Amino acid sequence: PGGAEAGAEAAEEDQTTLMLRNFPDAFTRTALVNFLDSEGFRAAYDFVYFPIRFGRFVGFGYAIVNFITLEEARRARAHF
């Protein structure tokens, strides 16, 4: 029971890098960092990737954030 799907879920639980989605187009990397900090994650991450469309200078609506420990990543997953 569970098979590959259960294995994928278990593997996700052991990742420190998360994809956060559904940000508005006008959101910026700076706004994301301020948001993470205000939600109690200041100094809990060491990498933020927030891609933008260069022609329009708007975001794609997602970000990749690497948390410094597995515990912080799990806390972020539960929080968001």
Give the per-residue pLDDT at 11.
62
Q: Which amino acid is at 2?
A: G
Please state the rounded mean pLDDT for residues 50-66. 92
pTM: 0.81
- Assign 3-class secondary structure to 23-50: CCCCCCHHHHHHHHHHHHHCCCEEEEEC
